[in-house]
Structure 1
Amino acid sequence: MATTTARSEAALIASMGMGNTGAVGDAADQMPWEENLNQILICPDCRENPPNLVEEFSNGDVVCGSCGIVLGDRIIDTRSEWRTFANDDQNNDDPSRVGEAANPLLHGSQLETTIAFGEGGRARELSRAQARTQKGDKSQKGLNEAYRIIGHYCDAISIPKTAQDSAKHIFKMADDEKIFKGKPVESVIAGCIFIACRQSKVPRTFREIYALTKVSKKEIGKTFKMLEKFLQDQAKNPKNTNKQLASLTEDQPKTSTTNATELCERYCNGLRFDNTHLMARIASELCDKSSSVKDLAGRSPLSVAAACIYMVSYLMGESRTSKQIAAVAGVSDGTIKTAYRFLYQAREQLVDQTWLDKGGRLDRLPVN
């Protein structure tokens, strides 16, 4: 009886051992794959141990530092990806991954929370509460409204984005210094757009700014003179606290008068020539040469540019009437013909041989 019991216990233990072994085997099969850290990557040419390996994250390669052979590619850059924005404002190294770069056009830290207006009652209450807290910040609201108007005006007459940003920067600087206190905002905006266009080499005339903003040409001229003097003083002032905006102004070229060459390309685009690029280039070259004509000295750059385009259009066989050009340039057709008369008298000296080689003919030029 005792022998039978001992045998049954031994069989039970054996069966339990076999079961455990099977469970361990199944668990081993289900374990995730792990890298064998006993393997070492060694250069096959140098065979140095420990190896002199260099990880080039810019190319994604593992390179032997001794012989330069590439041992691996497509490696992953595991370094930290800190982005530093505070260095621009405080001149120190402050790694931060929170938020974006500060906008120099706005006031404050710009880290406020904006609550969107939703359909629920709680969202409506939160939005109203935030609106009440922001009522006191009138300066920020005034800036945002001025920026909106500047963007609207600039888009209406196809002014580039660089000139728009420059106009906003100038308005911000003038608003901070309060140099136009009591002056209508429309006049300041018109002056900022006018001087920004000149600085960005996309000039617009007083007449064009007047048609855009409905601010009188006399008022635009006064604002422009005040802004020009203010920007010159800001660039020369070593104690200027607004260094971020001052540096943006210093990077801009000095404001100069509008010349006829800068207007030719825009006027030619409005006249829709078959080869606009060629016509604009020849008209610009003719404007440069027209400075040698004494009778044109002192004339408006608008009339000189229009007269040059009038002459080039007939010279190259894509004639446009003086009335068509006058509608684009904003001058009278009589002014164009008067300036053209002086160009026609000096046609032998002004017309280049390369223009004739490209299809130009002097006999196409009208006498008047």
Structure 2
Amino acid sequence: MEESYCSDCKSVTAVINDHSTGDTICSDCGLVLETIDETSEWRTFLDQSNHNDPHRVGDKSNLLLSNNGLTTFIFIPPSSKSLRRFNLKDPDKGLIEAFKAIEAMCERLGLVSTIKDLANEIYKKMEDAKSSKGRNKNAMFAACLYIACEKLKNPRRMKEICWAANDLKKKILGRAITEIKKFLDKSMDDGKARSAGDFLKRFCSLLGMSNKAVEAAQQAYGKTQAAVVKTAEPVIDIRRAPISVVASIIYMIAQLSGDRKHIQDVADATGVKPATIKKCYEEIYPFASRLVPAWYANEEDLKKLWRP
């Protein structure tokens, strides 16, 4: 059973997660500690006139989309030109279509969600850099999935990926894979200093952390980078690999969230050894009050952190 700090009991207690309501409840006193439901929301609306599908569903939050994917979609009657023009302004329309296509391929191949998430992330990078413009979209989706499988050590044959991509030609897939790998190699060369921060979102996603926790972790990591360059206060000099700093920041933020994580959980998600996370955490702990955003945790909350 999960544990969390209860403000009424003044201690860490076992909590009950009610997924039907999105409530996190203290098992001792019954206090609702958190009310957040990030799963898909199903609703049914009556439409007797046009006999359209009355079901409306909103996807769960997605950190790769603007506003974390928490967007309302409007059903557009064929006669409504104004609403059609409004819907065309959605900046995530292309990404949503891409993610759905990648998800469908993953379902056909029985792939785990971590592979799907990485494939989505690769495609998002291509889209942000405008590198996917004018290319065969289906081939790009399939190539991103192929590379994600490779990177997560669960490789699939090109023949399998082609089948999942509606019998895509192997030659076209191979060309797309080569193009994406060249782009990824170049982007890594151009941005090695910020690559660890780029992985932070995915690590948090693997741990199932909330959007607020992810934002807090990003801000905290950003402060470690800015502080080394210039600050009026004493320098936060953390002489550790960036990926180790990211892992220790995530561990710190996770302790302050409603869903506390063990150091081994963070190690599994980031690939950093628990001993390394612990040593890096010992170095950043003295700066916790400067690193953790005040809107996320106050001085009293920081006392809940593990003290080295």
TM-score bracket, shorter-length normalisation: 0.3 to 0.5
Identify, as 1 or 2, the structure richer in helix: 1
Structure (1 or 2) with the larger CA radius of gyration: 1
Higher relative contact order (CA 8 A, sep 6+): 2
Identify, as 1 or 2, the structure richer in strand: 2
